[in-house]
Amino acid sequence: MLDRYRHEFGRFIEPIVELSIRLGLTPNTLSTISFIFAVASGLLFYLSKYPNSLIFAAIFMVLSSLLDAVDGAVARKIDQANARGDLLDHVFDRYADLFILCGILFGGYAPAWIGVLAITGVILTSYMGTQAQAVGVGRYYGGILGRADRLILLLGTTILNWAYPDAIYGLPILGWVLVLFAITGHFTAIQRFVFIWRRL
């Protein structure tokens, strides 16, 4: 639902966009660095039994998300937006989602079946968004839980889990956020499918 505030966020990252251009960082370079930060975040979630690993996982996740927003803005600013960059960005985004969610799952925060449902829900949500463009409807970001919403929820629950690591009704806080993603991810995918179907 936070995707509706994309334009406001664009104004917030404008100084970072300008700095990236002055440093000579290309959009693809920014996408690659963003992906590396996401991989680091996923590994830190997996290793989060070590002190303060969760805080560093959250920091790398924020940096990854920030650069993921900046790369497209830089591409448009320097007139280098193209299909290759769009493809690279989407592939990195999906792998970034997988690394972070698998890091949480293999870090022992939830049973495997919950993790699988969460991961498939997230991937199907993203797939429906881009499939809308593939069938001629145009890229669609609607639904109850988009990528921006997930990142905000992940950031908040990561900090809460770091502050309160005990289980609540059998699962730590990060385990419950996977339950939330498992439910809302598939619900959002269905919402997007219905929207596309009606437009077609």
* pTM > 0.75: yes
Name the DSSP class of 50. S
Domains located in the chain, CATH noted: 2-199 (1.20.120.1760)
181 φ, ψ to 5°? -65, -35
Q: What is the pLDDT of residues 65-74, one digit of tens each?
A: 999 989 988 9
Per-residue pLDDT, 121: 96
Residues with Cβ < 8 Å from 118, sequence gap 6 or more? Answer: 101, 105, 110, 178, 179, 181, 182, 185
Residue 13: how many CB atoms within 10 A of its CB?
16
For the chain, residues with pLDDT lower than 50 are: none
Per-residue pLDDT, 5: 57
CA distance 170 to 177: 13
Q: What is the pLDDT of residues 151-194, one digit of tens each?
A: 999 999 999 999 999 999 999 999 999 999 999 999 999 999 99
**98: region left, alpha or beta (phi > 0 left; psi from -120 to 50 alpha):** alpha
Q: Six-digit token pair at 8?
A: 């406001």
